């Protein structure tokens, strides 16, 4: 999934947690937690910036190792960090923050599990689990490799075009998440 879908999912998860938890947080605290939720929805993908730094460009080479095999893409890590924050927190704000670290990152992993896959059993196993495995055709990889030689915009236009062809279920989920987030965001700011 692309960043907008993960960010939207994190925001919606934070919104749901705040709605159902009834923690009595002030509106500024809730707003801050919504932003943190959006961030933690995307946070497991921050490891892609390693590849950007390595290639010295904002491009992802399909010949490089998949970032989903990094330890930063392992759900158990985010579970431990989130629950540790929750358990040592002394206030409802920080307890909610700890839950957001865990839940919003796990929503990220659930979405990645639709077609890409996640190492759900890491460190016991490095096997990647997904519902509908992506069958990547050589022409797609070839188009992306060819686009790597072009400029920034040509690369990303090609990448998104090929992404939309091969990951249609993920793309539909992403579209629904982003539209839902926009609607909920604007409805909640009218109060």
Residue 44 pLDDT: 93
Give the C-alpha separation, 188 to 100, whole Å: 20
Task: Look at the pTM and tell me if it is higher than 0.95.
Answer: no
Residue 62 pLDDT: 56
Residue 106 pLDDT: 97
Residue 182's region, left for phi above 0, alpha for psi from -120 to 50, else beta, is alpha
Residue 86 pLDDT: 97
Q: How far is CA 88 from the centre of its chain?
A: 26
- Which residue's entry shows tokens 């040592």? 88
Residue 152 pLDDT: 65
Residue 138 pLDDT: 41
- The CA angle 143-57-48, to the nearest 5 degrees, is 85
What are the pLDDT tens digits along the chain (191 aa)?
788 999 999 999 999 999 999 788 999 999 999 999 999 999 998 887 777 777 666 666 555 656 666 778 889 999 999 999 999 999 999 999 999 999 999 999 999 888 778 889 988 888 888 887 665 544 445 565 666 666 667 766 777 777 677 677 778 888 899 999 999 988 887 65
Give the C-alpha separation, 129 to 148, whole Å: 28
Give the C-alpha separation, 32 to 187, whole Å: 17
Residue 58 pLDDT: 66
């Amino acid at each position: 999934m692309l960043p907008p879908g993960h960010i939207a999912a994190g925001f919606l998860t934070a919104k749901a947690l705040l709605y159902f938890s009834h923690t009595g947080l002030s509106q500024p605290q809730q707003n801050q937690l919504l932003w943190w939720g959006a961030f933690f929805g995307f946070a497991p993908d921050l490891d892609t910036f390693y590849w950007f730094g390595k290639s010295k460009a904002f491009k992802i080479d399909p010949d490089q190792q998949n970032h989903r095999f990094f330890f930063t893409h392992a759900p158990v890590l985010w579970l431990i960090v989130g629950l540790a924050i929750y358990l040592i927190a002394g206030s409802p704000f920080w307890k909610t923050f700890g839950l957001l670290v865990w839940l919003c990152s796990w929503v990220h992993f659930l979405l990645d599990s639709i077609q890409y896959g996640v190492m759900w059993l890491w460190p016991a196993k490095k096997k990647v689990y997904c519902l509908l495995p992506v069958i990547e055709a050589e022409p797609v990889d070839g188009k992306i490799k060819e686009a790597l030689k072009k400029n920034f915009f040509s690369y990303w236009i090609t990448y998104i075009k090929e992404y939309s062809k091969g990951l249609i279920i993920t793309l539909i989920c992403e579209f629904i998440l982003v539209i839902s987030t926009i609607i909920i965001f604007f409805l909640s700011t009218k109060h």
